[in-house]
Amino acid sequence: MAQDDTVQVVLVEDDAAFAEELVEFLQAHGLSVHWLDSLQDMVATVLRLQPDVVVLDQFVAGRDSLLLLPELRRRYSGGLLVLTGNQDVTDRILALETGADDFVAKSLGPREMLARLRAVLRRVRPPASAAPLAAAPSGPAWHIDVLRHQVRAPDGTMLRLTGAEFQALVFLAQRAGRVVSREEVSEAVLDRPFSALDRSVDNLVSRLRKALEAHFVDEPVIRSVRGRGYVFLAMDIARGVDASDPNAERG
């Protein structure tokens, strides 16, 4: 991730006219954009630059970029927004389930794309005024740092989470011991209303469980409550939820 205040974006788009218009618009709004016109070395470039957000066209030079999402997501935890002219709901669900934070139709235009990009950015790069969820641990506890988008296990291991997975962890940890509905997770983390036919929330929580399970062999971290949602259980977070967090629920 970029270390200064300038938002760094990698745009992967083979339509030169569309890309030039979008780059100009984003740069006019203070973002720094690195444009790629092919999928060749795309993953390596993203890993080298570590941008805040990747904006990825679904089809680049005839190739379906969704096929690269699993590899990219295993190695990159920043924001990921997929652009498409395709209205197929199956592709949209596939993109979200394999790691995309949002799936945006090109017909929406640059202004709404910027708004959607900023929504993703709020999940992966909180403002500097935000306080960490927990201070550095003094004992065998977890450390979740909202500012740096980092999660450190008691043994010092840094977890690699996608932007959506990290925000889901923060959201659930702030509500530890309470039942949290899928509707709440969808609206707070995925920034959209929940649909009973959309499995994105369940898949997101499942990926988060998998990322954590190596550290919790004998007990569940997130328990599903049939018909109601999830309960966050087994994680001792250093000093608990920061009292200044306006989104944390209070008992």
Using one digit for the tens of pLDDT, what is the confidence trace for 19-43? 999 999 999 989 999 999 999 889 8
Q: What is the mean pLDDT of the chain?
A: 79
CATH code assigned at 197: 1.10.10.10
Residue ending a domain, among 59, 92, 124, is 124
Extract the tokens encoding 117.
């990009």
Extract the tokens encoding 135.
């201070």
Same domain, 153 and 215: yes
Within 8 A by CB and 6+ apart from 203, the residues are 96, 97
- Number of domains within the chain: 2
Does residue 131 form part of some domain? Answer: no
Mean pLDDT across 214-224: 75
Radius of gyration (C-alpha) of the chain in whole angstroms: 18
Same domain, 94 and 165: no
Residue ending a domain, among 124, 152, 174, is 124
Q: Kindly report the pTM of this predicted structure.
A: 0.54
Same domain, 105 and 148: no
Per cent of the chain over pLDDT 70 is 82
Hey, what amino acid is at 39?
A: L
Does residue 80 form part of some domain? Answer: yes
Does residue 1 form part of some domain? Answer: no
Q: 């608990």: which residue's tokens?
A: 240
Maximum Cα–Cα distance across the chain: 55
Per residue in 121-131, pLDDT (tens digit) is 876 665 544 44
Same domain, 110 and 38: yes
DSSP tag of 142: B
For residue 54, the surrounding DSSP H or E stretch is: strand 53-57
Q: In this structure, what are the phi and psi dihedrals at residue 215, rounded to the nearest 5 degrees? A: -95, -5
Q: List the domain range (segments joined by +) for residue 25.
A: 8-124
Does residue 247 form part of some domain? Answer: no
Same domain, 42 and 76: yes
Best CA proximity match to 159, nearest among 109, 201, 214, 117: 214
Confidence check: pLDDT of 150 > 60: yes
CATH code assigned at 111: 3.40.50.2300
